[in-house]
Amino acid sequence: MLELKNQIQSKVKIDIDKQQREYFLNQQLKTIQEELGGNVQDQEISSLRERAAVKKWSKEVAAVFEKELERLQRINPAAAEFSVTLNYLELLLELPWDEYTKDNFDLKRAEKILDTDHYGLDKVKNRILEYLAVLKLKGNLKSPIMCLYGPPGVGKTSLGKSIAKALGRKYVRMSLGGLRDEAEIRGHRKTYIGAMPGRVIQNLKKAKSGNPVFVLDEVDKLSTDYHGDPSSALLEVLDPEQNTTFYDNYVEIEYDLSKVLFIATANSLSSIQPALRDRMEIIEITGYTVEEKIQIAIKHLIPKQLEAHGLKRGQVVLSDKIIEKLILDYTSESGVRTLEKQIASVIRSTAKSVALEEKYDPKIKPTQLSKILGAPIFQKEKSIDNNVAGVVTGLAWTPVGGDILFIETSINKGKGKLTLTGNLGEVMKESAVIALAYMKAHADELNIDPQVFDHYDVHIHVPEGATPKDGPSAGITMLTSLTSAFTQRKVKKKLAMTGEITLRGKVLPVGGIKEKILAAKRAGITDIILSADNLKDIEEIKAHYVEGLKFHYVKEMIDVVGIALLNEKVKNPLKLTIPVSTEHPKK
């Protein structure tokens, strides 16, 4: 007992000595600070009050600030809560409350900047000029929430920078790719250790302006986990009716985001939450034609890469033919990102010659391209390989633009089994089943003996089996491929098609028409079969996109076969007619 008593007394003595020592040192520090010109805490508080006096904020914000400042005065500077409250007050002071940059209403200048920075994209440019015009006339306007939607490399993100330059506003970019925590948008509550405001508020603090051009990059790449759903948190940010009173968990005061010009970018609309998509104005940016890509390369890509590699304009000369060869043989994309990489490779090889002080010809020749970049990666004429019955060229939409695909059908003796290969999705498998069912029902019209279906197996394959494929667009392509295989009539050369089918024999419209047409042009196709209901989509496309293409509009599936298949007599027809059995029916 005595030992225990001594231990407790010694511990208490150590604690008391420690506290007395700290108190003594704090008192000395306080006295030294007063001798040097006042208390640091008092100086901090008076500095905050002076900064608050010049802020343009509402009475509500001023009242919250004053209340928190008085609370800060009562907190011991050594306490952890002191720094939390100080950080909160600093944030309130640094946020741009009612502080806006002045818009430049010179529409001619804005149009010139947009045209200089971006080739084409007339729909987006007109939309921005309309917004500026209304803002100029009205003086005040709730900013629209625009969503630039299209394949990678077409200039969606860089458009935001050009718009900010045209309007004379600050530019902010926030990448949403892989964002999965709701607190990244709405902020953390101040009660948590290491709490921070959301990234929307943080970016506005950095911009020091309440009306910047705010680019929300890759809005379709948001993900969800147990931390919450960020796309749902974005609803308040991107709704013009709600974002006047945006609530951040850290700030705890409603903030007005209605003056911010939000521009979202996305590669695919299917992965965006429907409620979020409904709040945005979708502006589609499709791919470029070869002619447009040549102009973009001359005006933007080549000067940019020359500067990046330390070369002058005359040291590398890329003619229009060389650029066209680069586009056709070494790229297959809707945008120009891969083209820029290939141009950079060509310029790098010249930069090496310049650095080594070797003799070289500045004018790049076609033979040099194969040395620098290797053999051509893409073959333009691959669509014309329809020399075998049962092979048809289809048109597909992908998130990176349009593409062509082949559907191959082969038949061999069996019991009527249908096999599908090529990594097909459920919708494509169903299209094949519908096409075969339609053929069986209309065998007489297609000049096919109905009995062959019970004695021959059908195998449908879509090449590039490693690539997953799905969608309704291959319906009429499946039907044409099957009919071609069973009748041994080849498909016309340089012809492609896209359309959905029904059991009744109707051809339904599909989407992504512009991307598919650009893919067809890249592959050297001249004839395209579409649903009659897709005529409106073709009318919306500029004339130079569809130049050199002939469109065949169909309503019935039987018409597709009539247009697609050659009418010449088959030289070596397959003997598909099955002899009628003379045995008793029951046997």
Q: Which residues are catalytic?
A: 473, 516
Tokens of 549: 């293409």
Give the single-character DSSP code of 381.
Answer: G
Distance CA 250, CA 253 (A): 9
State how far the Cα of 196 lies from the Cα of 213, in Å rounded to an integer: 23
User: Which residue's entry shows tokens 């946020």?
Assistant: 95
Strand 527-531 with 495-497, pairing: parallel
Closest by Cα among 235, 230, 216, 128 to 173: 216
Q: Taking the alpha carbons of 66, 67, 73, 75 in that order, is the dihedral positive or negative? A: negative
Question: How buried is residue 372: exposed, middle or buried, by Cβ count under 10 Å (0-12/13-18/19+)?
Answer: middle
Long-range CB contact pairs, 102-107, < 8 A, 24+: 102/168, 103/132, 103/135, 103/167, 103/168, 103/169, 103/211, 104/166, 104/167, 104/168, 105/132, 105/135, 105/136, 107/132, 107/133, 107/136
In a 3-state reduction of DSSP, which class is residue 261? strand
Q: Which residue has the tokens 């349009």?
A: 402
Which candidate, 480, 399, 477, 469, places its Cα nearest to that of 427?
A: 469
Query: What is the distance between the alpha carbons of residues 564 and 498, in angstroms, rounded to a whole number?
Result: 12
SS3 of residue 361 by DSSP: coil
CB 530 within 8 A of CB 536: no
SS3 call for 219: helix
Strands 261-266 and 213-217 turn out to be parallel
The alpha-carbon radius of gyration of the chain (Å, integer) is 34
**Six-digit token string for 49:** 């009050």
Q: Is 228 exposed, middle or buried (0-12, 13-18, 19+ CB in 10 A)?
A: middle
Q: How far apart are CA 152 and CA 148, in angstroms?
A: 11
Sequential DSSP letters for 464-505: -TTS-B--TTBHHHHHHHHHHHHHTPPBPTTEEE-BEE-TTS
Burial of 402 (0-12, 13-18, 19+ CB in 10 A): buried
* Calpha distance 312→306 (Å, rounded): 6
Alpha helices in 156-219 (DSSP H): 156-167, 183-186, 199-207
What is the three-class DSSP state of 526? coil
Residue 309, number of CB atoms within 10 A of its CB: 16
Phi, psi angle pair for 550, to nearest 5°: -110, 125
